[in-house]
Structure 1
Amino acid sequence: MSSTHPTATRHRRNGGDLVVESLAALGARTVFGLPGQHALGVFDALRRSALRYVGLRVENNAGFAADAYARATHGVAPLLVSTGPGALMTLAALQEAAAGSAAVLAIGSQVPLAGIGGGRHGYLHELADQSASFRGVVKSVHTARTASQVPSAVAAAWESALSAPHGPVWLEIPQDVLLAEVDVPPVAQLDATPRELLPRPELIAAAASRLTRARRPVILAGGGVVRAGAEAELLALAEQLRAPVATTFGGKGAFPWEHPLSLRSWMEDRHTTTFLEDADTLLVVGSGLGELSSNYHTFRPLGQVVQIEADLGKLESNHAALGIHADARAALAALVKAVGEDGEVQEDHGPRDTGPAGEAGAEPATPEAAVSALLARVHDRIAGQELDLEQRILASVRDALPDGAVSCWDMTILAYWAWSAFDPRRTNALHSAQGAGGLGYGYPAALGVAVADPARPVLAVSGDGGAMYSIAELATARQYDLPVTWLIVDDGGYGILREYMTDAFGEATATELTRPDFVALAGSFGVPAVRTSPERLRTDLAAALAAPGPSVVVLPARLRMFAPTHLDA
């Protein structure tokens, strides 16, 4: 055993205490993680702090839980892990946090200072350059090589994670620094207030002018609206302009689903794509117009595009635009004010030309009528594909889920349906892994949301393949008695990959899976479970969500996706 390990008689503060004191000084209340040999100094310090520790069974799942906690709270979620294998196991979760703009502050240990960078000392878990593994994934990488550097390094990492756009950061601290005694006062105050990313006034004026003079203004709202908490500003601007609003999959809940101007989230529908293309001014807020938001890069705007984006690398990255590098809330608030002061309303320009939603030769419709006509076309197209089972199951899930509850979705066919067709009924209430697309997100993410707000139930939805990534976390749910109901749609394999391969090659390979009896397995963890059917799903799911603590509902069903519509004529 290494001589640098702490002993049971040590009581003096050490570098680990500086870590937890710094986190507490910055406002942290909860940390996620999993201990390891080199990180024992900081985990020992947790018992001397007021921070709540939530330990998961796999580092990747701990990262997913921290990701969803950060999304749910609009804050920073600390994640504590060990060196080498423990650190590397977080990479898939941090990639999702980066894609979804979740402020995860991952703090990992390192081998002792003498071994860093050499790769020759033979320390357990040693990597030649551990931080290099994170540079292409996270927003920023930080290192503290002495105890005196720890508070400032934690504060710098916190500020980076919380600056717009939010995102994950990596901070590593050597084992001997975490264990070294310190003779300085406890950390009492740190300032890591992120710099506001405000829009330039001349750009707001130009955008307001284009929008107020547009005959067919349309808004596309992405995840940046939700992360910035800009829903009220988006609603105010849309109603000022009478502009239809579509939300990307990441932006679900940014705009009321049932609002007369809501185009909802049918981003993979050609009718919706055409509607967005035909806007004479399209305002894109908090989206880089990537693969899914552009209907697999088939989107071709015919009019002007105004893009508000906090991530500079995404600004005009796919389409030319009047680019405004700013936080979505600040920019939308400025636009609301500028449009109001412009003094010109849409009605002054004559009848609104609503574009492709109206029938050929018909009189120009109102924006609300154009939205209604578009949604009817989408409904008719889906109705013609004999997908009643899928729609009934999704409706049963929606009916069973209380209005105030949050749902977290894994990469499974039912989640793909939810991206387009599920009404979250409020903002920041649906989280999924559609940013990076890794399996295993749904259940640990739901645990993170439940930690953030244990007073209301949370739903996780997985396929049987994705569920196997997270099955160990049933122990976590039971240990902390978290009110998470896990719906596992069991179709005997990787259903979406089965469908993709069959469509592309005529048959599927490597998609069929042997799986456990999920009901019996959940019971072995002390978690109540039931096997249901499409007919009983609504009742069984509602009962599980209403019961205290964790639960599992298993639905044997083989679902299909609706037809891809970026290929439609």
Structure 2
Amino acid sequence: MGSTQEQFTVADAIVKELVKAGVETAYGIVSIHNMPIYDAILREGSIDLVCARGESGAVNMADGHARSTGKLGVAITSTGTGAGNAAGSLVEAWSAGVPLLHITGEVSSEQIGTGRGYIHECKNQLQMMEGACKKAFQLKVPEQATGFIRKAIKEAFQAPSGPISVEIPIDYQSAIIPDTLIYDEAAFGQSAQGEFNVPEAVVKTIKEAKRPVLWVGNGAILSGASEQIKRLAEMTGAPVITSQSAKGIIPEDHPQCIGHFGAYPETKQFMANADLLISVGVRFRSNETSGWSVEVPENHITIDADYLAVSRNYDAKYGLVGDIKIVVESLASQIEGSDYMKPSGEYSEEVQQLRETLRATLRETLGPYENILDSMRNRLNEDTIFVRDVTIPANVWGSRLFEIYKPRHSIHASGGGIGQALPTGIGAQKANPDKRIVVLAGDGGFMVNIGELATAVQENLPMIILVFDDSGYGVLRNIQDAAYGRQIGVDLVSPDFVQLAHSMGIESSRVGSTDAFDKALEKATESDEMTMIVIDMEAVGPMAKPFGGPPGVASSFKPKKIK
């Protein structure tokens, strides 16, 4: 649809820059304080607009779109309450370093900060958004709209990448401005290329190591460094520990892939005997290091795109800062061009033994859920994108034993908030129509954004949704039991999820055994329609060992004196 408006406005400038940035889909809710932008999208005609049922869900959808593709995610919300509703999901995008543009309206420019009660007015909205995002900006000069949005998009991708919130006063959105043409490197599709000159001292440290370890995080995913990480690992014989966000950076059936087991006692013991750690784009979050109790060797080389990542949680002897893909590629080439000798075969055997021990030990705790895990891996193909909420199945085995073979095929809440899997999965499915999205959620988290089921139906998305129903907040139940021996606030009443799904035209069934689950999943994978499978966890039975929360969490709640 071509434009029927002769005059160029701020809203047109915003849409033009989105198109220039390759945006094909945006997510949001229309409002009196963003309607000119919506109308500009309609008139331009090339951007598909997905109507979410809540601002929180819209940002999650944009997040899932960006994480699964590496492209810019875009969410458009209203001002005031609408912007506030988006804040929690923006915190998640910030925690995961997601390149996302949040466009929100603002009250009329002359009313900002007056407190006069202008509809949707919010005290210090920009400050609220700043607290939830990497950065937040307010358009102050309408004529600068083109450069303003382009700068925001560029800022979203610059290290450390993250969500940028921009607010556009409602009177500015329809302001007539010149259609300014700005030429820069982004406009010509150029990107940083070349090589990174790795200091000889760093290469020497790697050459002398007999027990090197690679610990890889989401920064490597963001930079597209999968092949480079695999090359460096195979060259050095180093085991690859990954953060939860970096699952799939190398295929998880690779003999050197330890995976998301960094906080486990066996891995901690292995790390205590390492003589070199090369950390790549990893934050070393508290829950992934057992409260930073993992010991790392003095010879620690950090590779990251962010200067402030160096020695953030663990002291580094050397920091290599730049495009991670280029840095790792250059490092591997310099090592390959030297007289480097790979560690002994005995070390490779130790790595393989660690990998097998970790998986076997964890499997022993699953009880009947081991069969559900195996059914999922057998029934779902390698291109499946696995989106998980914060729930016991995800924490125990979904983020560790369910193998991922490709980058950007695993998405989980980095910030630990519940309820985000469904809308995040919607964004991932919308962005990847040729792949199947599988969402794993618990009944408690699923209720947080359950209204977005309607969005998935409206968009005709072929997702498979797995709801593990234990009638409450299962993770918190177990943590409370471990900490106090009692529970409060964790038992929940939920609707009949199957009937709810049927009311929306979604194929759904409730299963109470592992055989029934396998048959239901087989049927779902053979269909190209959306399917929801509700797993009755009481009927399936308990795990062989209850999940007590991330390592070290329960002990933090016990009474103690603070010095």
TM-score (norm 1): 0.90
Kept in 1: contact 2:250–2:405 (CA 8 A):
no
Q: Distance in 1 between matches of 2:239 and 2:201?
A: 20
1:421 matched to which residue of 2?
401
What does residue range 308-323 of structure 1 map to in structure 2 within 5 Å? 308-321=303-316, 322-323=318-319
Q: Using a 3 Å threshold, how does the CA distance of structure 1 residues 17 and 191 change in structure 2: closer, same or farther? A: farther
Report the equivalent of 1:443: 422
Q: Which residue number in structure 2 is paired with residue 15 of structure 1?
A: 10
Corresponding residue of 2:375: 396
- Give 2:327's aligned residue: 331
Post-superposition CA distance 1:256-293 (Å, at most 9, x none)? 21222222222231101221232101111110212133
d(CA) in 2 for partners of 1:453, 1:480: 13
Distance (whole Å) between structure 1 residues aligned to residue 43 and residue 272 of structure 2: 58
| Alpha-carbon distance in structure 2 between the residues aligned to 1:463 and 1:43 | 34
Shift of 1:10: 7.4
1:453 maps to a residue whose letter is N
Aligned counterpart in structure 2 of residue 305 of structure 1, from 300, 303, 306 = 300
Counterpart Cα distance in 1 of 2:184 and 2:112: 28
**Equivalent-residue separation in structure 2 for 1:103 and 1:20 (angstroms):** 18
Q: 1:96 to 1:66 in 2, by over 3 A?
A: same
Q: Is 1:112 matched with 2:108? A: yes
Map residues 344-493 of structure 1 onto 2, 5 A cutoff. 344-346=340-342, 352=344, 366-382=346-362, 385=365, 387-416=366-395, 417-433=397-413, 435-493=414-472
Any conservation in 1 of the 2:26–2:48 contact (CA below 8 Å)?
Answer: yes
1:30 to 19, 25, 34: 25
Instruction: Provide the secondary structure at the position in 2 that maps to 1:292.
Output: helix
CA offset digits 1:337-387 (Å, max 9, x no partner): 11112222236xxxx3xxxxxxxxxxxx523311222134324533554x3
Pairs within 5 Å for 1:240-279: 240-279=235-274
CA contact (8 A) 2:77 2:103 kept: yes
Give the whole-Å Cα distance in 1 for the aligned partners of 2:132 and 2:391: 24
Query: 1:522 aligned to 2:501?
Result: yes
Aligned partners of 1:313, 1:134: CA distance in 2, in Å?
22
The Cα offsets for residues 14-49 of structure 1, whole Å up to 9 and x where unpaired, read as 321221112112221111111111111101111101
What aligned pairs does 1:195-206 form with structure 2 within 5 A after superposition? 196=192, 201-203=197-199, 205-206=200-201
The one of 541, 546, 560 equivalent to 2:521 is 541
**Could you tell me which amino acid in structure 2 is paired with residue 369 of structure 1?**
E
Q: Residues 541-563 of structure 1, C-alpha deviation per residue, up to 9 Å, x if partnerless?
A: 23223322322111111555556
How far apart, CA to CA, are the structure 2 residues paired with 1:206 and 1:457?
A: 46
- Distance 1:492-1:140 versus aligned 2 partners, 3 A rule: same
Structure 1 CA distance, aligned partners of 2:97 and 2:224? 13
1:95 maps to: 91
What aligned pairs does 1:59-98 form with structure 2 within 5 A after superposition? 59-98=55-94
CA contact (8 A) 2:425 2:438 kept: yes
What is the CA–CA distance in structure 2 between the aligned matches of 1:67 and 1:92, rounded to whole Å? 12
- Distance of aligned partners of 1:51 and 1:181 in 2 relative to their CA distance in 1, 3 Å threshold: same
SS of the residue aligned with 2:406?
A: coil
Aligned length: 539
Q: CA distance change for structure 1 residues 515 and 44 in 2, over 3 Å: closer, same or farther? A: same
Report the Cα offset of residue 503 of structure 1: 1.0
Distance 2:129 2:331 in 1: 37
Matched residues in 2 for 1:457 and 1:383: separation? Answer: 26
The secondary structure found in structure 1 opposite 2:399 is: helix
Q: 1:78 to 1:371 in 2, by over 3 A?
A: same
1:202 Cα deviation after fit: 4.8
Give 3-state SS (helix, strand or coil) of 1:44's partner.
helix
Distance 1:26 1:214 in 2: 44
Q: Which residue of 2 aligns with 1:43?
A: 38
Following superposition, the deviation at residue 248 of structure 1 comes to: 1.5
Offset at 1:65?
0.8
Q: Distance in 1 between matches of 2:548 and 2:138?
A: 48
Structure 1 unaligned runs (5+)? Answer: 1-8, 353-364
8 Å CA contact 1:440, 1:466 repeated in 2: yes
Per the TM alignment, residue 474 of structure 1 is displaced from its structure 2 partner at its CA by 1.2
- Does structure 2 retain, via aligned residues, the 8 Å contact 1:18–1:187? no
Please, which moves more after superposition, 316-325 or 194-203? 194-203
Partner Cα separation in structure 2 for residue 92 and residue 374 of structure 1: 38
CA distance in 2, matches of 1:393, 1:279: 35
Task: Report the Cα offset of residue 456 of structure 1.
Answer: 2.1
For 2:245, what is the secondary structure of its paired residue? Answer: coil
Please name the residue that 1:236 is paired with: 231
1:505-532 Cα shifts (integer Å, max 9, x gaps): 1111000000000000011112121112
Decide whether the 8 Å contact of 1:457 with 1:546 is kept in 2.
Answer: no
Q: Alpha-carbon deviation of 1:165?
A: 2.8
Greater mean alpha carbon deviation, residues 140-149 or residues 32-41? 140-149
Moved more, 537-546 or 66-75: 537-546
234-243 vs 417-426, which deviates more?
417-426
1:301 Cα deviation (Å)? 1.6
Indicate if the aligned counterparts of 1:489 and 1:555 stay in contact, CA closer than 8 A: yes
Question: 2:561 maps to what in 1?
Answer: none
Q: Establish whether residue 215 from structure 1 lines up as the match of residue 194 from structure 2.
A: no
TM-score by length of 2: 0.91
Residues 41/301 of structure 1: CA separation in 2 closer, same or farther (3 Å cut): same
C-alpha contact (below 8 Å) 2:388/2:394 kept by paired residues: yes
Structure 1 residues 565 and 131, CA gap change in structure 2 (3 angstroms): closer
The 1:89–1:194 alpha-carbon spacing in structure 2 relative to 1, beyond 3 Å, is farther
AA aligned opposite 1:211: I
8 Å contact from structure 2 (residues 9, 176) kept in 1: yes
Matched with 2:477 is 498
Shift of residue 147 of structure 1?
2.6
- 1 CA distance for matches of 2:529 and 2:41? 26
Identity across matched positions, percent: 28
